[in-house]
Structure 1
Amino acid sequence: MSLSKKKVLVTGADGFIGSHLVEVLVRMGAEVKAFSLYNSFDTWGWLDHVASDVRGQFDVFTGDIRDPNGVADAVNGADVVLHLASLIAIPYSYHSPDTYVDVNIKGTLNVLQAARRFGVERVVHTSTSEVYGTAQFVPITEEHPLVGQSPYSASKIGADQIALSFWRSFGTPVAVIRPFNTYGPRQSTRAVIPTIITQIAKGNRIIQLGNLTPTRDFSFVTDTANGFVAMGEDENVLGEVVNFGSGFEVSIRETAEIIANAMGVEIELVSEHERLRPDLSEVERLWASTEKALRLLKWTPSHSGRDGFVKGIEKTVEWFNDPANLARYKTDRYTI
């Protein structure tokens, strides 16, 4: 099925990936309802700053994914639900693990119950590469063991399994998308790439980071958004988990060097104790196999390999270098 003309609910639409996904969906002709976390400031997160051609072309529903009544109201009438709402910051999950269970597991359950009740045509649930833990083999396929190395990843494993159980138990049309580390414009400085860019943009040349040796498979945000569309449209993915990555593995140290080169500066890297994960919680290596995405969906990333990563970094740096965008970030503190 095509998402064009479909009524599509995007939970977590006010976030980094969600706001980009809203832009993609609006431009392809979907009727979008964007679920934004309620707050008394009447702000809609990144939805307040989407591209001008998209602004005003979607409906906003404010609520809380933890509230089953509000979630049911949001889901009612939707053809497709793309479920991105989640707490994702790993350091904060050490501080407040209960909240991660409430948002990630119970919030997902609320979405699934509502989707089952109202006969939604498709639910795409968002997983994360963190559920694999440190790679036991590479590239990581969907058959890799699941290892919860942080309360965050454990909560996502639980949410994934709840989602798949609704497919197996009730025939709810669920598919699970598992993006590897997404980056790009609008990302929070709780992630490493914006952390590096904003420190440099502020004028720092001694860059404070955590562990420099782990490797990641970084995916540009438009590739991830297009992955959501593919998962929402193709019948081959019902009951399936599908990885989405760039097929390129790079260390945090090399990532910082690529960013510094894109910004035309020389930097020194310092590992700061506050930014380090506990030893047994650090995920040392992530590198996605995207063979299944290619086989089932004919999906390939437009920002693949080292050249694609450099291109994505240059686009991200350009966005952060806009003073209006940089001003939205607290560049003088560590974001958990």
Structure 2
Amino acid sequence: MKLQGNKILITGADGFIGSHLTEELIRQGCDVRAFVMYNSFNSWGWLDASPVSIKSELDVFAGDIRDPHGVKAAMKGCQVVLHLAALIAIPYSYHSPDTYVDTNIKGTLNIVQAAKELGINKVVHTSTSEVYGSAQFVPITEDHPLQGQSPYSASKIGADQMAMSFYRSFNVPVAIIRPFNTYGPRQSARAVIPTIITQLANGKSDIRLGATNPTRDFNYVKDTVRGFIAIAEADQAIGEIINIGSNYEISVGEVAALISQIMGVNMTIETDNQRLRPEKSEVERLWADNAKARTLLGWEPVYGGKEGLKRGLKETVEWFTDPNNLNSYKAGVYNI
């Protein structure tokens, strides 16, 4: 199914990945309705910074993913739904887990219930590699056991299961994308790569981080966006859960060293205890097996391997070090 010619709703369009996905689909000539979080400032999040050529083509719906009536109203007239709206900050999930159940699980229920009632042609639901917890084997395939090691990951497991239950119970055409650690321009400074860059860009040499030994599979946002589009267009993706990852494992400490090298800044790392996860909650190892995406979708990372990571980090550093962008971040404040 080609996305051109279909009306596409993107929930979470005002966020990090959602704004990149929205812009790319507009560039490809798609008809996009952007679901943004209602606020009294009439802010469209990151879409406010989009070029006029993008914003002029947008159909913006301001609402709340927790409201079933608003969700159904937003979905009317659409054929495809790309569901990205979620609470994603792991530290905040320790603080306010109830909000994660309402937003991530009930929000997803609202999407698939409306899709069932409206006869939507395709729903792409966004999962996360955090649902796997610490790897029991690597690389991690889609058959890896699920482990809720934080309230966030538990809520996403619940959301994934809710989405798949509607596929199995009511034949709602659901596909699940499971991105590993996406990074790039516009990401929140609560994430490790923007945390490092913004501290260095603001003249810090002693960088405050949490645990540096855990490994991650970092996926550049352009590759993640390509994954969303590939899954949305592939009929064979319906009823499937698909990892989108680079198939390259690297520790947080090694990533910090790469960023330091790219930015030409000497640094030392200080452990900030408030940034550490509880011991049993820390995910020690993530490394994606992306064979299913390659076989089923023909997708593979353009920014794969160490060299691909370096290219993605350079693009990310370039964006964050632009004063107009850097001023949007409070580098001296720890964001939960």
- TM superposition score normalised by structure 1: 0.99
Give, in whole Å, the separation in 1 of the partners of 2:24 and 2:200: 30
In the alignment, the residues of structure 1 paired with residue 256 and residue 88 of structure 2 have an alpha-carbon distance, to the nearest angstrom, of 22
Q: What amino acid is aligned across from residue 287 of structure 1 in structure 2?
A: W
Match of 2:70 in 1: 70
Residue 24 of structure 1 and its aligned partner are, at CA, apart by 1.0
CA distance in 2, matches of 1:155, 1:64: 18
1:241 has 2:271 as partner: no
Whether 1:328 aligns to 2:328 is yes
Deviations 1:27-80 (A, max 9, x none): 111100000000011111101012444222111100000000000000111110
* Number of residue equivalences: 336
1:189 aligns with 2:189: yes
Q: Note the 1:304-315 alignment, pairs <5 A.
A: 304-315=304-315
Task: Output the CA distance in 1 between the equivalents of 2:56 and 2:17.
Answer: 19
Q: Within 5 A, what are the aligned runs for 1:54-203?
A: 54-203=54-203
Unpaired segments of 5 or more residues in structure 2? Answer: none
Q: Does 1:205 align with 2:205?
A: yes
- Once the two structures are overlaid, the 10-residue window that deviates more, 177-186 or 41-50, is 41-50
Tell me whether 298-307 or 42-51 shows the greater mean CA deviation.
42-51
Q: Which residue identity is paired with 1:9?
A: L
Q: Which residue of 2 aligns with 1:10?
A: 10
Deviations 1:216-275 (A, max 9, x none): 000000100110001111011111000000111110000000001110111001111010
Structure 1 residue ranges, 4+ long, deviating more than 6 angstroms after superposition: none
SS of equivalent to 1:34? strand
Instruction: Indicate the SS of the match to 2:123.
Output: strand
Q: Secondary structure at the match of 1:149?
A: coil
CA–CA distance in structure 1, aligned partners of residues 110 and 44 of structure 2: 21
1:170-229, CA deviations, whole angstroms, 9 ceiling, x for partnerless residues?
A: 000000000000000000001000000000000000000000100000000010011000
TM-score scaled by structure 2?
Answer: 0.99
- In structure 2, the residue matched to 1:221 is 221
Q: CA RMSD in A?
A: 0.6
Q: How far apart are the structure 1 equivalents of 2:193 and 2:79?
A: 35
Match of 1:285 in 2: 285
Percent of aligned pairs sharing the same letter: 62
Contact preservation (8 Å) 1:23, 1:51 = no
1:335 counterpart SS class? coil
Aligned-partner SS, 1:207: strand
